[in-house]
Structure 1
Amino acid sequence: PIEAVRKGVEIIGSKVGDRINVKGVGTTGSGRYLIGDFVGADMVINEITAQATAAADIDNSVDTIFEIGGQDSKFISLEDGVIVDFEMNKVCAAGTGSFLEEQAERFDIKIEDFGDIALKAESPLNLGERCTVFMETNVYSHYQKGASIEDILGGLAYSITMNYINRVVGRKKIGKKIFFQGAVAFNRSVIAAFENYLGKEIIVPENHEVTGAIGAAIKVLENSHKKTKFRGFENISKVSYSHSSFECKGCPNRCEIKKISIKGQPSLFYGGRCEKYEKGDSKSSDIPDYFAERENFLLNSYEPKDNKGAKKVGIPYAMLTHEFYPFWNAFFTELGFDFVLSDKTNKKIINDGLQCSVAETCFPMKTTLGHVQNLLEKGVDYLFLPTTRDMPTKEKNIKGDRTGSYPCPFIQGTWSIVKSAINTGEVKILTPILNFSFKEYIKEKQLTKLGKELGRDRRSIKKAIRQAHLAQNKFYSSVKKRGKEVLSSLKDDEIAIVITSRSYNSCDRAISMDVPKKLRELGFKVIPIDYLPVDSIDLSKEWPNLYWEFGDRIMSAAEIIKKDRRLYPVYITNFGCGPDSFILQYFEREMDRPFLRLEVDEHSAGAGVITRCEAFIDSLMNVRNKKDFPPTQTKTKGKDAVFKKSQGRVIYIPYMGDGAVVLRSAFRSEGINAEMLYSDDETLELGRKYTLGKECYPFIITTGDIIKTLKHNDPKKVAFFMPQTYGPCRFGQ
């Protein structure tokens, strides 16, 4: 980006440089910090704030901004000219300008002509809003079948619209006055598609392709400086610089840092997963690192004996190890083993995990494979990959047919995923089934059995179990005690951020993109979820079947946050997380204030994470200053439906296997009319329209079947039969 900026400044300088006096300079965009240092910027502004500032300056009554650029897209909600909520696209590029440009090139059409051709479509194709790869296949298939270019391009215009509305906007409120900003707004067919799809007017402001730059300029003007840091047109255009790179050894990531050396000026840096070199204005020096504290509790709740030379039992520093390390460290050490923890997640471990993956799983699971490879390189004798069926939970969560509070199926089946992906050779894998929800059973049966398999006597096993529970309880009590101290120390007008996430997402610095540190560097206290008293919250009435333990903790945290105006949540999740495809929606419905949702995986870039964090801070500061914050929530709970045979309703049963046919026959034998739900193309279309697309395919199909049935029948004559499950599959939610 440096050469492009240098040439741009040179062109501007040659045309107007001798006629203007530069009072201030601002930079925005993903390379804003690097370019800010290069040109001598007085302010560095994130893209969300820049776009919103420009829109509010054009028309202070605008309340919604759709911004679609070449690589990303943004949704911004405004009130009285300030940001109150926002969202950005995740990994998918199907809703951005680059996707439209690629499709135009495929048909040898200039991108400038795309809109005019698409507007001639007589029957735009329904291409849905799937990912780029599937979309391209779909487009090519229609083209081979004889579809016209006009109908294909018209379908693509609708596709980018539906992708944006369903995947970026989601359930966020779209206001009355909508601005469409970014270069894609040049495409008249996309504007028309938005207007038809929403039934609302879409306003394209003047200079919409550079509203980000305009907003940055306005921000600089509002914060005028006595003397600008701008290096000058001539100095920038004539600057001589060279590129080099080096490996940063400050952490296990070993990032390759790009260095820009400029004669007579400090060097510039970029390319790291953190901002160690790029940003020098951290505000976090006096703010405690609560995540480092938690890690210290985790790793030091048990003082291990020196068992060097003994057989090595290795455990990946991933997934539930971020909670149960004290337990297993004490258990295996007391049994006389050398307990080995894999290295902290780093670039090599991530790459090894990605190379080993034979199926598409979440990012933490892929990383776990890299940790296993790391343990094999350490020469362990045993790999400990337990089947943790359920976790420690509140007593009220175990009742009736529900027999546990579960982690996700990937965690339960870690050992089988590892076996299918990695050749472990002669290393023995320990895969005991564990029920932490049942303290006596795990103690008397499962752990005793594991100890005997390892050749230990009953007395040694009993002692190891006792020490394991003591170590784990010490960890839990240390975290709770420190959390209580932190919450009580917050001032009445202070803002603190709670990371509402699973520990293996938030406490692994590499997997979380070090988001807690980034937020701390913006000047805020950042608190782990288990610092909150989540065990004190009873969700059994509101959420009687929330059988995922981490889901229970996250929703309990939501209740605590809503009662404390000082706390604001940041929700870290992963692309493809099954439980979060539901829990995140529950959390969003419950939350009464802005929260930041970050979807992190192996493709995530640090610049995008920083943009979201900075924009989030801007939005919550704006909302915090509102007089009516937090808003009063009123919940209306509908009555449970009651089925009466006399109503003459037809019971529709989703086809979940041949057993559904048996159920239909059973109802009919009792004189109740019952039918099967059969799926077709309309099912899929409706299912995708009324779900977020992150849910499992059976859920999407079942939702589509139900809506289709209601669409074609009198709702008063329809009933649906849905079996109840208790997990860990997400369909029970």
Structure 2
Amino acid sequence: TVFMNSSVKQAQKDGATVEDISAGLSVSVVKNAIYKVIRANSASDLGENIVTQGGTFLNDSVLRSFELEIGHNVIRPQIAELMGAFGAALHARSLNLPQSSILTPDELNRFTHTSKSVNCNGCTNRCFLTINSFQNGERYVSGYKCERGAGNGDAVSSEVLPNLFHYKREKIAGLSHISGKRGRIGIPLALGMYEMAPFWTEIFSKLGFEVVLSGFASRKLSSKGQYSIPSDTACYPAKIMHGHIEELIEREVDVIFYPCLTYNFDEKTGSNHYNCPVVAYYSELLAGNMDSLKKTKFLYPYLFINKPKELAKGLYKCFFDDYGIKLTEIRRAVDAGYVAYDKWMQDIRAKGL
């Protein structure tokens, strides 16, 4: 994962040896399997008589880490990596089927398979692919992230499958940036603020601000904020936020707005709508690590966006002292923001149908 790669790089910088890093990875694989995949409350829940299976347990380090975690030795068969295949075969035999629906005995005897690793040239991502070839000329490709990597680049036309990323990008670029009597307010286009740009743009435009967006991510923009990134373990979307803030400072906006939001919009599609902790509170880190922010007013209030009245009260506390904005005016702006955001989402969804 992204976080694992970042942690390994940080450990290398801290002087950890290859042996220590390898051991740490083995332990993390075991702990992840027990407590996050199996979801055991404790290692003792797994029992005492345990037989391991799967290719992962051919790794002696993983096997020993597992034994240390549960507190006793386990049994690893010599065919651990084939246990799943044997189980599937035994299950198929128990069904007493007249013949296989996949291969006949003769085809099975003639079955051959080769695989090779290549880089996809369908786009600049150059995804790492594994191409499996079979004796009948068929192929199976794994590792791809789009239809081009699967070899079906012409199967889906742009008319059938529109590029919604490009569409949203063009819409964000076209958001109104009219001058305002209350000055220029900057909004960074990163993390959760990217998706919420139309919401905040509408609110602050109604309140008499000229909304200045930081622009789209680029290598040049990213490099502007590298000096203030406190740790390599942060994800890239968080790291690039530093560049967006620097961009707004260079544009000499009067105030930068990046609120702390524990919750995102409740779209009624899941059991909760919490923001990732990084998305929710990264503005706190920016305020403490970016010396350049001392030159510009930086507002990062804690707000609740799923109740218009609560949001209006939060914005009132944040803006009244410096701008004298009345609560009634903020309420009207907030209502307009919700209407604009709903229309925005309806348009995006309609485009994707």
Do Structure 1 and Structure 2 share a fold, with TM-score over 0.5?
yes
Q: 1:415 aligns with which of 283, 301, 308?
A: 283
State the Cα deviation string for residues 229-248 of structure 1 (Å, max 9, x = none): xxxxxxxxxxxxxxxxxxxx
SS of the residue corresponding to residue 288 of structure 1 reads: coil
Matching of residue 91 in structure 1 with residue 91 in structure 2: no
Residues 284 and 300, structure 2, Cα contact 8 Å, conserved in 1: no
- Paired residues for 1:90-489 under 5 Å: 91=5, 136=16, 162=27, 171=37, 199-202=76-79, 213=116, 219=133, 222-223=136-137, 282-283=153-154, 285-286=157-158, 287-295=161-169, 304=176, 306-307=178-179, 311-359=183-231, 360-393=233-266, 406-422=274-290, 423-443=292-312, 445-452=313-320, 453-456=322-325, 460-482=329-351, 486=353
SS at structure 2 position matched to 1:413: helix
Unaligned runs of 5+ in 2: 39-50, 68-72, 83-113, 119-129, 139-144
Change (3 A) 1:374 1:279: farther
| Contact 2:225–2:242 (CA under 8 A) maintained in structure 1 | yes
**Structure 1: gaps spanning 5 or more residues:** 1-86, 95-129, 141-154, 206-210, 225-273, 399-403, 487-733
| Structure 1 pair 168–92 and aligned structure 2 pair: CA distance change class (3 A) | farther
CA distance in 2, matches of 1:314, 1:202: 61
Residues 160 and 190, structure 1, Cα contact 8 Å, conserved in 2: no
Give the share of equivalent positions with the same residue, in percent: 20
C-alpha contact (below 8 Å) 2:202/2:337 kept by paired residues: yes
Kindly indicate whether the alpha-carbon contact (under 8 Å) linking 1:376 and 1:424 is maintained by their aligned counterparts in 2: yes
Equivalent residues of 2:199, 2:341 under 8 A apart = yes
CA RMSD of aligned residues (A): 5.2
Q: Within 2, Cα distance between the matches of 1:430 and 1:282?
A: 46
Match of 2:133, SS state, is helix
**Partners in 1 of 2:150 and 2:251 — Cα distance?**
36
Alignment of 1:595-674 (within 5 A): none
The residue that corresponds to 1:530 in the other structure is none
Per residue, is there more strand in 1 or in 2? Answer: 1
Secondary structure in 2 matching 1:379? coil
State the distance in 2 between where 1:364 and 1:419 align.
Answer: 17
* SS of aligned partner of 1:314: strand
SS of residue in 2 equivalent to 1:219? strand
State the TM-score, normalized to the length of structure 1.
Answer: 0.31
- Look up the match of 2:43: none
Cα deviations by residue, 1:18-40 (Å, 9 ceiling, x for unpaired):
xxxxxxxxxxxxxxxxxxxxxxx
Offset at 1:386?
1.5
- Contact 1:92/1:132 (<8 A) preserved: no
Deviation at 1:464, TM superposition (A): 2.8
Number of residue equivalences: 278
Q: CA deviation at 1:369?
A: 1.5
SS at match of 1:469: helix
TM-score when normalising by structure 2: 0.58
- 8 Å CA contact retained: 2:2, 2:235: no
Q: 1:197 to 1:437 in 2, by over 3 A?
A: same
Partner Cα separation in structure 1 for residue 18 and residue 326 of structure 2: 63
Whether contact under 8 Å (1:89, 1:168) holds in the other structure is no
Output one character per residue of 1:500-528: Cα deviation in whole Å (capped at 9) or x when no partner. Answer: xxxxxxxxxxxxxxxxxxxxxxxxxxxxx
Of Structure 1 and Structure 2, the greater helix share is in: 2
Equivalent residue runs for 1:6-155 within 5 Å: 91=5, 136=16
Native 8 Å contact 1:313 1:339 kept in 2: yes
CA distance in structure 1 between the partners assigned to 2:2 and 2:201 by the alignment = 41
